[in-house]
Structure 1
Amino acid sequence: MPTYHYIATKPEDGCPRCSKGFDLRRPISRPALTECPLCKTPVRKVITSVNTPRVSKPMSVSDAKSAGFTILEKRCDGSYEKL
């Protein structure tokens, strides 16, 4: 379930929670909030950065095996051989 960040459209009119902004976990299928759940002040959804994993180097065969992956190598005839 994604986390969305909301902030009051006019922070001076909102409660302490929505004037500084708040995070809310909601299903994607539900529509975005239009008002603060506490004070009913209009809020807007803020676009934030997305957290993605960074891969600094390709995984070696030994690293992949120690992580529990099965390593396969393609042969000339189209079949795969387990290393």
Structure 2
Amino acid sequence: MPTYHYIAEKPEEGCPRCRKGFDLRRPLDRPALTHCPLCKKPVVKVLQPFNTPKITKPLSVSDAKSAGFTVLEKRCDGSYEKR
């Protein structure tokens, strides 16, 4: 189930929970919330960025071997040879 972030449409009118925003896990087939579960004031769903792993340096042959990969090198005749 994905996690959605909601915040009050008018933060000055919301309760402390929806004024600062809250996260809620909901199934994909359920519609988005329109009102805060506590104070019943209108809320909006906020789009959140997601994390992806960042590779800071190119992977070396030794990194690939230590991760368990087989490293192959292409020869001029089109065949591959284990490195």
Q: Map 1:1-83 to 2 at 5 A.
A: 1-75=1-75, 76-77=78-79, 80-83=80-83
**Quick one: percent identity of the two aligned structures?**
75
For the pair shown, the structure with the greater C-alpha radius of gyration is 2
Which residue identity lines up with residue 45 of structure 2 in the other structure? K
Offset of residue 74 of structure 1? 4.4
Offset of residue 48 of structure 1? 2.6
- Cα distance in 1 for partners of 2:33, 2:82 equals 51
- Cα distance in 1 for partners of 2:38, 2:17 equals 8
Which residue identity lines up with residue 25 of structure 2 in the other structure? R
Q: Could you tell me the TM-score, scaled by structure 2's length?
A: 0.73
- Cα distance in 2 for partners of 1:81, 1:73 equals 5
**Unmatched segments (≥5 aa) in structure 1:** none
- Cα distance in 1 for partners of 2:53, 2:6 equals 24
C-alpha root-mean-square deviation of aligned residues, in Å? Answer: 2.2
